[in-house]
Structure formats: structure tokens, C-alpha cells
């Protein structure tokens, strides 16, 4: 298997010396961080890990066997299918198809014959009459996060740690206008396409649809989160509110669909593409993608996947990336709602977070620095990244779908773009997009 170039992530600046998870060679690596456990009494976890009851094969997704990765991804022209079309020979042998996901076009993962290079594979498929797109199969990574000190915000419902989530402040995203009306997002399904989700966390228990989830990283039905990133995102989306415990999420009673595409060691582009397709097939109306890879241009295969999701009625919200540079992939794909991160200024107000990417693709911004949320084992942590900003927007999209189930994806998107505070130059700008999300401006 040919080596893949892994992007080296630069560490986001921290506002305190607290140790944090770090990125090594584009993969996740952990150092000791700040964690808070509360004396909770949830239902005891099951004796065995919860396992999905869904077979991806029933939804035109063939998952590579565990440990298989492949070197190429190819998209076929519309109407073309393998094995109807013959496979080209490379060094006298046929490549193997080890994975498949069907959007409007079939996307295949190809394992090349032993000794063959990626360049040889690209050359063999480039002239094939059935092939539309070719891409090396690369690794994709969860966005790194920080664990800095806590900062206080105004108090709202009776969740005792909510005042530590400055992003929910009345001078910031102003969620009280939603929470005090007890607006429900029950039945709206949000896909957390990430490192999995802890279904036993007291703030999420009963609303993580683990029986519908899937683990595309390990090719099995166990979508539990062993690293914490996906559970942190899920808490910001839908932690139970006004329950006297921990924090509150944007949409207190929304459903979470756990789609695990990576772990602490990383993931692949195919697992992410399969996760997008699977989430749509499982009825998710909002897809939250808190992962990225630096890229000067969008990947055509992710363009296909995001276009497919939108055509099927799902809003796709993507973290912009933490490289202090251009918007990463897949946030730079057309149709993605790319979200940058803001941070508090020392004397009030907000600015673009020091780690956040920016560019013309940015649609919206949201608080992303020093954000407290749920992590596995009944705990809470403060993390920083555009990963934390994206769920503020995804939660707003879920509330809109609940209030307007007959709306189109375009109507939901336009409502989001109008429900924001303009923090930068007037109108859309490369740092904040249309502005920072403001829940009080949502047409609910």
C-alpha cells in the first residue's frame, strides 16, 4: 500500500497552559486534559456495546473489510456500474474493488495490485470510458481541540454548568428566546459524522439512535465514542436542557444519529463519503461534519456527496478547519455551510478565533473557542475548534426543520444566513460569512 501524505496541523493558540490533545502527522494524539465528572445516576450501561441493526449493504454501501483501505477512489459516469464494465489491467492484474457507495454516481474504493503505484493506478483509470473522476484515497482527520480554562456566561435554565458556556450568552447567540418558548425539535434527526457518540451520557440518553448508527472506521455496528470529539459535538447539539444536570444543547430533544468515520488514529475519505450517504439514507435532516483536511480546492467526490445529500433533503454543516489558512475540505465544497469559529475578546465582543480558517467559502460563524460540552463517561470538557462552532449552526438548522417541516433545503439555508449578527464588514465577508449565528433571529 502506497504511503499517503498526511497534513501536519499547526497547534491552535491556547489561552492557558492547560495540556491539550495535539495533532501528530494529521492524526489525533492525546495528552492529559481538564475533565469534570458529576455525581449522576443514569441507567446502567448495557453489558455489551450497543450495535447497529442496519446493514449498509441494504443502502448501496459496501464497506471495506477492517484494515483494508485501498489506494484510489473513482467515480463512474452516471448509469455505469461495475462489474458490467471490465476493469483495466495494471501490471498484468486486475485491481480489486473493496468498497462502494452509490450517490447519483457510483464511487468505488480500489486496491491496486501489489507493487503498483498510485500514479500507475491513476494512469490506468484515466482513459477508461466509464470513469468520470479519480482521486487518491487519503486520510481525513478530526479537527484538533484545546482544553483551556473555563469562562463564565450569563445564567439561564437550571443546568448548573450552562453558565460556563459563553457561546450561549445573551450577548452572543441568545438562545433564551428559543429555550423559554420550549420549542421542540423532537423527531428531527441530526447526523453526527464524527468519532461516534456515547449513548449512555445522561445528557443524551434515550436520543442517540445507536441502533441506526454505524461505524465506517472499523466496518461494524459499534458507533460508540472512545475519543470524546463526537460526544462533545452531540452535547452542543442536543444535550438535555432544564434538567438540573450539566449543560444544555441548542435543540434539547432532537435525535442524534451516530455515524462513526474516524477514531483517535484518524479515518479515510471513503469512510466520510459512506457516512454522508448513510446518514441521508437513515433520514437525517441535518449532517454535522466536524472534520477537515487542508486543501486549495474542493474534492469532486465530496462535491458529489454533498450535492446528493442536499437533493435528498438534508442540510450539510461543515467545520471550516483550524489551520489559520484557507477553508479546508470538505467545507470548501459547493453546497456546504462552512462555519468559522469566534472567540471572546478580553474586553467584550468577539473576533475570529486565532486558529480558525477563513475564506470566501465561509457561510456563517459561531463560538468555537473554549466551549464546554459533554464527553464520554458522564463527563464534560472544554474544547476549542471550528468543530465546536459547527454544531451551533446545525442545532439552529434542526430547530428550523422542526418549525417548518415543509420547507426546502434552500429555504432552511437562507433562513440560517439571515439569522446572524454581522460581525465583520457589512454583508458577507471571508471571516464570518453572513455573520455569527443568533438564535433570536430564527423565524420559528
The more confidently predicted of residues 391 and 245 is 391
Tens of pLDDT along 262-272?
987 788 999 99
The Cα–Cα gap between 258 and 238 comes to 13
> At a CB cut-off of 8 Å and minimum separation 6, what does 230 contact?
192, 194, 195, 196, 197, 258, 260, 290
- In the numeric block, which cell numbers belong to residue 208? 442517540
What is the predicted pLDDT for the residue at 148?
34
The confidence band for 67, taking pLDDT boundaries of 50, 70 and 90, is low
Give me the DSSP letters along 227-278: SSHHHHHHHHHH---SSSSS---SSTT-EEEEEE-EETTEEEHHHHHHHHHH
pLDDT at res. 23: 29
Alpha-carbon separation of residue 161 from 241, 309, 318, 363, 380 (angstroms) = 11, 35, 27, 30, 9
Rounded to 10 degrees, what is the CA torsion of 257, 258, 262, 268? -30
Question: How far is residue 138's CA from residue 38's CA, in Å, rounded to a whole number?
Answer: 40
10 Å CB burial of residue 283 (0-12, 13-18, 19+) is middle
Q: What is the model's pLDDT at position 346? A: 86
Structure confidence by residue, pLDDT tens digits, 395-410: 999 999 999 999 999 9
Residue 332 has pLDDT above 80, yes or no: yes
Residues designated catalytic: 194, 229, 387
Task: Give CA–CA dist 398/173, Å, rounded.
Answer: 16
The CA-atom distances, in angstroms, between 265 and each of 34, 82, 139, 199 are 21, 32, 10, 21
DSSP H or E run through 362 = strand 362-367
Encode pLDDT of 300-313 as tens digits: 999 999 999 999 99
- Cα–Cα distance, 367 to 352 (Å, whole number): 9
Using an 8 Å Cβ cutoff, are 91 and 245 in contact?
no
Q: What is the pTM of this model?
A: 0.86
- Residue 237 pLDDT exceeds 60: yes
Contacts of residue 53, Cβ cutoff 8 Å, sequence gap at least 6: 211, 212, 221
Cα dist from 367 to 23, 85, 89, 327, 371, whole Å: 22, 49, 51, 17, 8
% of the chain exceeding 70 in pLDDT: 85
**Is pLDDT at 76 greater than 70 in this prediction?**
yes
Estimate to the nearest angstrom the gap between the alpha carbon of 130 and the chain centroid.
32
pLDDT tens column, 109-127: 999 999 999 999 999 999 8
pLDDT at 265: 76
Task: Give the separation between CA 380 and CA 235, rounded to whole angstroms.
Answer: 9
Judge whether residue 2 has pLDDT over 90. Answer: no
Does residue 83 have a pLDDT over 80?
Answer: no
Please write the tens of the pLDDT for every residue from 255-264: 999 999 998 7
CB proximity list for 44: less than 8 A, separation 6 or greater: none
Cα 292 to Cα 145: distance, rounded to the nearest angstrom: 13
Interatomic CA distance for residues 441 and 417, integer angstroms? 10
Please state whether beta strands 36-37 and 214-215 pair in parallel, antiparallel, or not at all (unpaired). unpaired
CA quadruple 364, 272, 137, 108: dihedral, nearest 10? -120
39 pLDDT band, cuts 50/70/90, is very low
pLDDT of 299 over the 60 cut: yes
Q: Is the pLDDT reported for residue 65 higher than 50?
A: yes
Q: What is the CATH number of domain 22-35+142-441?
A: 3.40.50.200
Question: Is the distance from CB of 402 to CB of 187 less than 8 angstroms?
Answer: yes
Q: Within a 10 A sphere around the Cβ of 102, how many other Cβ atoms? A: 16
Q: How are strands ordered across the β-sheet holding 96-102?
A: 61-62, 96-102, 106-111, 72-76, 131-136
| Strand bridging mode 337-344 / 315-319 | parallel
Q: What secondary structure does DSSP assign to 94-163, as a single string?
A: --EEEEEEESSSEEEEEEPPTT--HHHHHHHHHT-TTEEEEEE--EEEEPP------------SS-TTGG
Closest among 438, 321, 268, 266 to 12, alpha carbons compared: 321
pLDDT at 132 exceeding the cut of 70: yes
**Dist. CA 434–CA 170, nearest whole Å:** 20
Give the DSSP letter of residue 90: B
Whole-number Å distance between alpha carbons of 58 and 53 = 11
294/152: higher pLDDT: 294
Strand, coil or helix: 438: coil
Amino acid at each position: 500500500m502506497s504511503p499517503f501524505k498526511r497534513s501536519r496541523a499547526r497547534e491552535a493558540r491556547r489561552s492557558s497552559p492547560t495540556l491539550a490533545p495535539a495533532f501528530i502527522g494529521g492524526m489525533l494524539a492525546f495528552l492529559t486534559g481538564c475533565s469534570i465528572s458529576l455525581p449522576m445516576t443514569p441507567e446502567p450501561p448495557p453489558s455489551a456495546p450497543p450495535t447497529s441493526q442496519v446493514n449498509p449493504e441494504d443502502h448501496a454501501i459496501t464497506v471495506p473489510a477492517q484494515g483494508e483501505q485501498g489506494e484510489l477512489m473513482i467515480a463512474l459516469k452516471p448509469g455505469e456500474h461495475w462489474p458490467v464494465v471490465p476493469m483495466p489491467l495494471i501490471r498484468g492484474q486486475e485491481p480489486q474493488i473493496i468498497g462502494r457507495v452509490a450517490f447519483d454516481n457510483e464511487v468505488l474504493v480500489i486496491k491496486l495490485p501489489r507493487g503498483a503505484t498510485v500514479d500507475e493506478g491513476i494512469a490506468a483509470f484515466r482513459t477508461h470510458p466509464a470513469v468520470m473522476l479519480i482521486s487518491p484515497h487519503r486520510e481525513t482527520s478530526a479537527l484538533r481541540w484545546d482544553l483551556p480554562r473555563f469562562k463564565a456566561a450569563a445564567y439561564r435554565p437550571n443546568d448548573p454548568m450552562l453558565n460556563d458556556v459563553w457561546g450561549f450568552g445573551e450577548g452572543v447567540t441568545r438562545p433564551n428566546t428559543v429555550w423559554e418558548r420550549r420549542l421542540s425539535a423532537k423527531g428531527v434527526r441530526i447526523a453526527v459524522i464524527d468519532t461516534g457518540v456515547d449513548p449512555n451520557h445522561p445528557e443524551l440518553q434515550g436520543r442517540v439512535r445507536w441502533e441506526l448508527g454505524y461505524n465506517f472506521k472499523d466496518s461494524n455496528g459499534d458507533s460508540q465514542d472512545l475519543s470524546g470529539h463526537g460526544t462533545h459535538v452531540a452535547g452542543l447539539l442536543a444535550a438535555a436542557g432544564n434538567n438540573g444536570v450539566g449543560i444544555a444543547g441548542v435543540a434539547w430533544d432532537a435525535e442524534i444519529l451516530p455515524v462513526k468515520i474516524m477514531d483517535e488514529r484518524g479515518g479515510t475519505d471513503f469512510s466520510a463519503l459512506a457516512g454522508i450517504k448513510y446518514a441521508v439514507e437513515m433520514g437525517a435532516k441535518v449532517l454535522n461534519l466536524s472534520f477537515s483536511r487542508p486543501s486549495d480546492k474542493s474534492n469532486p467526490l465530496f462535491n458529489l456527496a454533498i450535492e446528493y445529500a442536499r437533493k435528498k433533503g438534508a442540510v450539510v454543516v461543515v467545520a471550516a478547519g483550524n489551520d489559520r489558512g484557507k477553508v479546508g475540505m470538505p467545507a470548501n465544497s459547493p453546497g456546504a455551510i462552512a462555519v468559522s469559529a469566534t472567540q471572546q475578546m478580553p474586553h467584550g465582543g468577539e473576533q475570529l478565533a486565532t486558529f480558525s480558517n477563513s475564506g470566501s467559502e465561509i457561510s456563517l460563524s459561531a463560538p468555537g473557542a473554549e466551549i464546554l460540552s459533554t464527553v464520554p463517561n458522564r463527563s464534560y470538557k472544554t474544547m476549542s475548534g471550528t468543530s465546536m462552532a459547527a454544531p451551533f449552526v446545525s442545532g439552529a438548522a434542526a430547530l428550523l426543520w422542526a418549525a417548518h417541516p415543509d420547507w426546502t433545503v434552500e429555504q432552511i439555508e437562507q433562513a440560517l444566513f439571515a439569522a446572524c449578527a454581522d460581525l465583520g464588514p457589512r454583508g458577507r465577508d471571508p471571516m464570518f460569512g453572513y455573520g455569527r449565528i443568533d438564535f433570536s433571529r430564527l423565524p420559528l
